[in-house]
């Protein structure tokens, strides 16, 4: 029978080994040349989380009325996913074209708009999709300090301390897949976000 001291020691080293292995794997993924580069024109989009992480996104994957789909840009030539910087995470949302302002409509593809997933207040992740504090429409929400952004109006701030709208990412559809049409419009994240 093992002593409690041996069991704790074994558990510690097993946990440490698993942690270091996971860190090496993550570092190898992020160290790929180009993984920290900002999204570029022609990049494809892939799912960033969940069961379908890494899957190529087609327009039908983004449903009207559903919560935003989280995505990473992917270089179509090298297949490098640009996930080496959290500033590259993107929110994709399908909106009713009749509810979009002209600026949002001009950057969207088939009713799908793309925004940075990084809040402009303190650089937290924007993860919410719920009814606004000040209206009856669903909005993008950062739960850190309750900033809300209206995706139908270029992700303008509608509630909370965020000083400016989320950066927008113009989209296009090429060969049946969503692609990036141009670099981010606006500054991504907060001053201190890195």
What CATH code is assigned to 35-180?
2.102.10.10
- Which one-letter DSSP state was computed for residue 168? B
Confidence (pTM): 0.81
Q: What is the pLDDT of residue 34?
A: 86
Residues 160/121, Cβ–Cβ less than 8 Å: yes
Query: By percentage, how much of the chain surpasses pLDDT 90?
Result: 75
From CA 171, how far away is CA 43, in angstroms rounded?
10
User: SS in 3 state form for 19-67?
Assistant: HHHHHHHHHHHHCCCCCCCCCCCCCEEEECCCCCCCCECCHHHCCECCC
Q: What is the pLDDT of residue 46?
A: 97
Q: What is the pLDDT of residue 30?
A: 52
Instruction: List pLDDT tens digits, range 124-175.
Output: 999 999 988 887 889 999 999 999 999 999 999 999 999 999 999 999 999 9
From CA 4, how far away is CA 33, in angstroms rounded?
46
Which residues of the chain are modeled with pLDDT < 70?
A: 1-31, 191-194
Q: What is the pLDDT of residue 32?
A: 82
């Amino acid at each position: 029978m093992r002593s409690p001291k041996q069991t704790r020691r074994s558990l510690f080293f097993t946990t440490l080994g698993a942690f270091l292995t996971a860190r090496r794997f993550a570092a190898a993924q992020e160290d790929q040349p180009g993984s920290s580069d900002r999204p570029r024109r022609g990049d494809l989009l892939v799912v960033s989380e969940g069961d379908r992480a890494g899957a190529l996104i087609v327009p039908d994957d983004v449903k009207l009325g559903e919560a935003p789909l989280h995505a990473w840009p992917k270089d179509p030539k090298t297949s490098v996913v640009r996930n080496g910087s959290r500033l590259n995470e993107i929110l994709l949302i399908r909106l009713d074209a009749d509810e979009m302002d002209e600026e949002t409509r001009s950057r969207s593809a088939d009713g799908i708009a793309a925004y940075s997933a990084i809040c402009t207040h303190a650089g937290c992740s924007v993860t919410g999709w719920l009814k606004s504090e000040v209206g009856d429409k669903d909005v993008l929400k950062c739960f850190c300090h309750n900033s809300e952004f209206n995706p139908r109006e270029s992700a303008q701030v509608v509630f909370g301390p965020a000083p400016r709208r989320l950066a927008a990412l113009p989209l296009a559809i090429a060969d049946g897949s969503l692609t990036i049409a141009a670099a981010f419009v606006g500054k991504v994240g907060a001053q201190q976000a890195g």
